[in-house]
Structure 1
Amino acid sequence: MGKKSDGNLTGMVFIVSAAVVTLITLWGFIWPEHMEMNMASALEVVIDTFGWFYVMATAVLVFFCFYLGLGPYRYVKLGKKDDEPEYSYYTWIGMLFAAGMGVGLVFWGVAEPMSHFVNPPEGVEPGTQHAAETGLLYGVFHWGIHPWSIYATVALALAIAKFRKNLPGLISSAFYPILGEKVKGPIGKWIDIIAVVSTVIGIATSLGLSTMQVGGGLSQVIGLENDNFLQMSIIAIITLVFLTSVLTGINKGMKYLSIGNLTLAGILMVTVIIVGPTLFIMEHFTMTVGSYISNFVSLSFFTTPYTDNEWVGEWTFFYWAWLISWSPFVGTFIARVSKGRTVQEFIFGVLLVPTAVSALWFVAFGGTGLHLDITMGAGLSQLISEEPEAGLFIVLETLPLGFLLSVAALILITIFFITSANSATYVLGVFSSRGNLEPANTILVVWGLLISAIAAALLLSGGIEGLQAIAITIALPFTVILLVMVFAIHRSLKEGYQQEPIGVKKEEE
């Protein structure tokens, strides 16, 4: 990637969003206790006041996606009438999964079911078979169709804007069907600013979790203390690596690294299924998928109006907010690799296949940990709920080839960390450069340093609680944008459907 003009630095989106992120970062570094206290207060207010809004908004996106996949616009192409998909179906699905799950799935695959086992939702007795089943069910729910519906909505809006209307690759472009040329003015700029700040927080949350887990892995594998010094050192080294890759333009290397990492994740999962409690895993997978399908609607709308929102706030509200804030980045990537597919193929490919893989991942890793506690009395769940970043390694060490599996997991997390940061830096550069697909190196460096700095600041000012607090709070305005995006997508598809008969499929009906 060669040097480009830095004229984009004068852009309003870059200046305002970078300034906001810088202020948040300085707040965390200079007054960490003050930030922790205020974010905790903000978190409590948002959860108590707007938790239901996150649940309702996410449910709306799920049912909107199913409507698109089964409704009258299902044969509309994401592109021109004669465009064909650029990637094979297998490659496309692999790229979706790597973009949308990665870090989070590896972090929470063991930690979430084990945490729910000892601290389940109200009405479930801790440490029981019911708690184990509930833990796996919620793991699949939190990493299943709902997250992918969030990603699919953003990706669909961007794909329509880019491939059907030839608009810039900006979040504001998705609103062209509603705002028209106004998307190029102040309204569009503020939409992009909210999207950029939200994306930075989502990315920083993911990088913070990755840092904690790499530290936890090093602690379990070679005995280093997972303290602030180790975590800051990890962030510094990873930042150096991914900024070097961004500035030297070795994106092809990053692509192969991503594919290799996906293969490594698959090998790790299959190995755990084979050397772990295979029959228990497969029976639990069947039961958990059945329970997920039968409880889908009630889970989608679950809130706790008669008690406080502590449990659902720490889990469901946090996940929906975090994934919403992360969605502009993931949505941009999914849109770029989905050109030429029909709406139906896109919706069901994005929603169902990654959900099935995620379900198997949670039951394989979380189920192995639960089996150790329930049938062998290993007593790991309490320790893992207190140190979720170490959960994966604690369980892997109990299996045959435990050390090798832990080293493989550490490599897996580190590569996910690097590739996610690399891609995120590029996407933020595009968002804050008026959609320019070759943003200036200066902009890339600024964003690379800022996402690492804010991840470090959040870790210093509250660890995982700090990450949860700022993700839930910052995602609120972008949730409103997402809901408006639903109307923009529908209007755009309706106009395209009326103007362009959608091929043979429509004529046959």
Structure 2
Amino acid sequence: MNQSSTAPANVSVSRWGDPITLVLSVGFVALFLGLSFYDLDGVASAIATGFAWTATTLGPYFEWLLLATFFIGIGVACTPAARARIGGLDTPELSTFKWLSIIMCTLLAGGGVFFAAGEPVYHFLTTPPAFDSEAGSAAAVSDALAQSFMHWGFLAWAILGSLTAIVLAHAHYDNGEPLRPRSLLLPILGRRMIHGPIGSVIDAVCIIAVVAGTVGPIGFLATQVSYGLHEIFGVAEGLTTQLAILVVLGIVYVTSAVTGINRGIQLMSRFNVFLALGIAAVIFVFGPTLFLVNSYSQAFGDYISSFFTMATMTAQTAPAWWMKWWTVFFFAWFIGYGPLMAIFVARISRGRTIRQMVVSVAVLAPIATTLWFTLLGGSGIYYQMAGVFDLTDALANFKFDVATLTVAQALPGGAAMALAIMVLTSIFVATTGDSMSYAIAVVAAGHDEPAPLMRALCGIIMAVMAGVLLTMGSGQIGALQQLIVITAIPVSLVLLPSLWTGPKAAYAMARAQGIVDG
């Protein structure tokens, strides 16, 4: 097996990276903040217009991109070529538990925890377009969970690290190309073009999409934790508390990013997995166990039987607001993360087989996510039906921070459980922040070991951006979240070729390793 270094063999890169990519990426942050200071309402209005058009017009394209990625990825995993090992190593660099912990904590991230309690309850109170059950009825329970499974299940995970991770692994470990989004387009544009200004623009566009997708959760976490501390401990809620939380969070994930994958990122991921397992065990043993078991069984059946109906909603079959704020929004969010998450998956999966990587990311991790959504969201539905609380008004206004805390306080353990879930959410967001700081630095530098100062700078920029937007009001963070859908357009074009280059890369790796005949 090839034991070559992960550093590119034939690409000359500066330790401080590509100036064009850096200027465009940092320039976007400066431009967005500058325009927001100049005309806050104008920026929000322009983004809202583009957001609505993109969701309505390109929603089906996003949906089919995710569908094709999942099914082609699973198809590749079923071929003999899937026995090829990433990077040509005989044994993995990371143990299975460490590897899976990093995958779960990085890819699921704070978003999965933030929405896990409230989203199923929302769909229970407002029947999704794919179903016809009466809102708030017993029949609506499984439909609500199934819709949540669609948003955070197989399709979402597959776009983050299946075919694209195969293409990047082959380009990097076998052909000496840098771990950058531009390498996804090597078979299309050729080496000369991707190493020129066009490649720099491709990298910058993908970084911008990740910044937009990461800054939002960082900012929303500050508001959620601030609200939780106020409700549980009586801490003053407001901008000062939010900024203080942001500073602490930034210090944690920047420190983790600087120490690297084998230290900070790995340690935080392992801790969070143990904490999540502890929370899950308490809910399952002391919560509404029978209700959760029955609901999960029926909901997963609904998820499978209504899979294509939910995955292919259009402006003709669903209300415009649904297209904007639910399925298409989530799918666009995951598309925006796609290239840099694939870089991260390829980087941590060296020594794993293609089959192990695809099945873990696109099958096992989504199933674990559906279980988590059932434990939190299913419990929320149970307590809503039992009259323990009423989240109708809060969720009608999309106040998921209120929903998360309300459900958490109703769980076994009360305030202690609420505090544990706040810590869990915070560390999930931190693991996203540190992994994306690392990935952005890898892209900017063009090699696997970017300078610690560059990793820190990437993380600090996102924290500062979140802080500035918080001072403008949570609405501007919401505007940045809407921008995710718009940035998904160019990023989707970077991901699209992997539908046919992914299988080719898998077979090329398998031939080089003597697994299949040439």
Using structure 1 for the length normalisation, give the TM-score: 0.90
1:243 to 246, 254, 259: 254
Distance in 2 between residues matched to 1:138 and 1:95, nearest whole Å: 26
Within the alignment, does 1:112 sit opposite 2:122 as a pair?
no
Match of 1:444 in 2: 455
Amino acid at match of 2:379: T
Structure 1 contact 25–453 (Cα < 8 Å) conserved? no
Offset, 1:292: 1.4
2:83 alignment partner, SS class? coil
CA shift, 1:9, in A, is 6.3
Aligned-residue offset at 1:226: 4.5
Correspondence list, 1:80-91, <5 A: 80=88, 83-91=90-98
Is 1:335 aligned to 2:350, yes or no? no
Shift of 1:142: 1.0
Alignment of 1:278-293 (within 5 A): 278-293=289-304
Question: Is 1:54 the counterpart of 2:65 in the alignment?
Answer: no
1:147 aligns with 2:156: yes
What amino acid does structure 2 have at the position aligned with 1:119?
A: T
SS at match of 1:50: helix
Is contact 2:225-2:422 (8 Å) kept? yes
Shift of 1:330: 2.4
SS at match of 1:129: coil
Confirm or deny that 1:31 pairs with 2:31.
Answer: no
Q: Among 385, 394, 399, which residue is 2:411 paired with?
A: 399
Contact 2:166/2:502 (8 A) holds in 1: yes
Q: 1:131 aligns with which of 140, 149, 157?
A: 140
| CA pair 176-221 structure 1, distance change in 2 beyond 3 A | same
Cα offset for 1:318? 0.9
Q: Give yes or no for contact 1:373–1:381 (8 Å, CA) kept in 2.
A: no
Deviation, 1:245, is 4.8
Q: Are residues 1:186 and 2:188 paired?
A: no
| Structure 1: gaps (5+ residues) | none
1:484 maps onto 2:493 in alignment: no
Matched-pair contact (CA < 8 Å) for 2:62–2:331:
yes
In structure 2, the residue matched to 1:389 is 401
Give 1:121's match in structure 2, choosing from 115, 128, 131.
Answer: 128
Matches within 5 A, 1:310-349: 310-349=321-360
- 1:197 lines up with 2:208 in the alignment: yes
Find 1:462's aligned residue among 467, 475, 482: 475
- The corresponding residue for 2:429 is 417
Q: 1:110 to 1:497 in 2, by over 3 A?
A: same
**Equivalent in 56, 63, 71 of residue 63 of structure 1:** 71
Deviation of residue 170 (structure 1)?
1.2
Question: Which is further off, 65-74 or 194-203?
Answer: 65-74
Given the superposition, is the C-alpha separation of residues 154 and 203 from structure 1 closer, same or farther in structure 2, using an over 3 Å criterion?
farther
Distance 1:246 1:335, change over 3 A: closer
Separation in 1 of the partners of 2:264 and 2:388? 45
Which residue is 1:380 aligned to?
391
- Equivalent in the alignment of 1:173: 183
- The root-mean-square deviation of aligned C-alpha atoms, in Å, is 2.6
Q: Verify the 8 A CA contact 1:35 1:461 in the aligned structure 2.
A: no
Give the C-alpha shift of residue 234 in structure 1: 2.1
Cα 1:333–1:129 shift into 2, 3 Å = same
Task: Tell me the equivalent position of 2:9.
Answer: none
For 2:204 and 2:261, locate their aligned partners in 1 and report how far apart those are by CA, in whole Å: 28
Task: Mark the CA change 1:173 to 1:219 in structure 2 (over 3 Å): closer, same or farther.
Answer: same
Instruction: Give the one of 150, 166, 186 matched to 1:156.
Output: 166
Of the structure 1 ranges 18-27 and 98-107, higher mean CA displacement relative to structure 2 is found in 18-27
Contact 1:9 1:15 in 2 (8 A): no
Contact kept in structure 1, 2:170 and 2:509, CA below 8 Å: no
Counterpart of 1:19?
27
Q: 1:296 to 1:428 in 2, by over 3 A?
A: same
Contact preservation (8 Å) 1:114, 1:370: yes
1:18-62: CA deviations, max 9, x gaps?
112221133334433222222211211111221122112111211
Paired AA for residue 469 in structure 1: Q
Shift of 1:178: 3.0
Q: 1:160 to 1:354 in 2, by over 3 A?
A: same
| TM-score in terms of structure 2 length | 0.89
CA distance in 1, matches of 2:253, 2:342: 21
Structure 1 runs, 4 residues or longer, greater than 6 Å off: 248-251
Report the Cα distance in structure 2 between the residues aligned to 1:489 and 1:142, rounded to whole angstroms. 24
Contact residue 33 and residue 461 of structure 1 kept, 8 A: no
CA–CA separation in structure 1 for the residues paired with 2:356 and 2:266 = 24
Superposition deviation, residue 107 in structure 1:
0.3
Query: Unaligned regions of 5+ residues in structure 2, if any?
Result: 1-12
Deviation at 1:199, TM superposition (A): 1.6
Shift, 1:367, TM fit? 0.8
How many residues get paired? 499
**In structure 1, how many angstroms separate the alpha carbons of the residues matched to 2:39 and 2:238?**
19
**Alpha-carbon distance between aligned partners in 2 of 1:409 and 1:217, rounded to the nearest angstrom:** 10
Instruction: In structure 1, give the amino acid aligned to 2:183.
Output: S
